Amino acid sequence: YGVNTLEALAEVKFVVRKALSEDGVLVLNADDAGILAYMKTVEQPRICWFSLDKKHPRILLAINQQGRCCFTESGNIVYFDGRETQAICAIEAIPMTMRGFAQHNIRNALGAVGVARAMGYSIDQIRQGLTSFNSDENDNPGRLNTFELRSGARVIIDFAHNAHSVEAVTDTVKRMPARHKWALFGSAGDRSDDEIDAIAQGVCWINPAQVVIVEIEQYLRGRAPGEVSKIIKQSCLDSGLAESQLSFAASPLSGVKLAMEQMQADDLGLFLVLSEREEVIDYVKEHS
């Protein structure tokens, strides 16, 4: 599509800044190296920086210059309006952060605070929004939807389908305690071999005890049946998994059934479901 590098993508994404009014505020992630690099090349509008680290140079500079910023401190989301620091709420009180394990959603919360304050919403309104927005199939379908099974195992269903989103959810799962971790995933056929390999390596980063590789018939997109699964299998083996740790299923739903039949109490399953999501959720809920 004419966008082949992260630098080019950043330039496209930053088109939104051109719609800012004269007194508008651009809310930016200081933890993103690409954003920091791009902002060196353009005229600086009014910015609200956010970061997980209160001691990030951009945050310290914003506070020193009485600018807006948002950061975490002592387990809380904190906003600085240029004059005073305002505590929003505890990170663990925000459902989508998964008790703080989901670092990417802490950043999403920080960004949301910056935008909401710039739009004039009160601290109470922002707190209410953050603490009442659930990470479930109703409020945020396909994003870290978590289910406690009757067996005592837990299942997380997510729609992550590229290396970057897989990295975010696997970072979350990597931080979570479990007896054994399971992974279920496939990939669309229009991804390159390297992209599919990157997704598989990202999944293997959680050091799963078992992996279920699923075919996604609706998303073959020019690939022969079984071709994507073969690439994923090799990637898993290259990542250090044994063949005995790999299973195969003809569809996401059949793969979920296979995994849940074997999962035990205190196991944690990460199911990356790109198709049959409603059927999968219905099945998981029947066993919750």
* CATH assignment of the domain containing 170: 3.90.190.20
Q: What is the pLDDT of residue 23?
A: 87
Q: What is the pTM of this model?
A: 0.93
Q: Is 5 exposed, middle or buried (0-12, 13-18, 19+ CB in 10 A)?
A: exposed
Closest CA to 6 of 31, 39, 30, 33: 33
Asked if residue 138 is part of any domain, the answer here is: no
Phi/psi for 194 (5° steps) reads: -65, -40
Residue with tokens 């007896």: 179
Asked if residue 140 is part of any domain, the answer here is: no
Single residue among 81, 102, 132 that ends a domain in this structure: 132
17 and 121: one domain?
yes
Q: Output the tens digit of pLDDT for each of the chain's 288 residues.
A: 577 888 888 888 888 888 888 889 999 999 999 999 989 888 877 999 999 999 999 999 999 999 999 999 999 999 999 999 999 999 999 999 999 999 999 999 999 999 999 999 999 999 999 999 999 999 999 999 999 999 999 999 999 999 999 999 999 999 999 999 999 999 999 999 999 999 999 999 999 999 999 999 998 999 999 999 999 999 999 999 999 999 999 999 999 999 999 999 999 999 999 999 999 999 999 999
Closest CA to 269 of 136, 166, 153: 153
Each residue's pLDDT tens digit, 246-281:
999 999 999 999 999 999 999 999 999 999 999 999
Q: State how far the Cα of 125 lies from the Cα of 129, in Å rounded to an integer.
A: 6
Q: What is the pLDDT of residue 224?
A: 95
126 and 175: one domain?
no
200 and 149: one domain?
yes
Q: State how far the Cα of 40 lies from the Cα of 212, in Å rounded to an integer.
A: 45
Each residue's pLDDT tens digit, 276-285:
999 999 999 9
Q: State how far the Cα of 231 lies from the Cα of 194, in Å rounded to an integer.
A: 9
Q: What is the pLDDT of residue 274?
A: 94
Single residue among 101, 132, 163 that ends a domain in this structure: 132
56 and 160: one domain?
no
Q: How many domains does the chain have?
A: 2
CB–CB of 24/44 below 8 Å?
no
CA atoms within 13 A on the CB side of 203: 32
Q: What is the pLDDT of residue 112?
A: 98
> SS3 of 146, please?
strand
Asked if residue 1 is part of any domain, the answer here is: no
161 and 275: one domain?
yes
Name the residue range of residue 110's domain. 6-132
CB–CB of 184/212 below 8 Å?
yes
Q: State how far the Cα of 110 lies from the Cα of 106, in Å rounded to an integer.
A: 6
Q: What is the pLDDT of residue 16?
A: 85
Q: If residue 249 lies in a helix (H) or strand (E), which one and from where to where? A: strand 246-249
**DSSP code at position 134:** -
Asked if residue 169 is part of any domain, the answer here is: yes
Amino acid (one-letter) located at 24: G
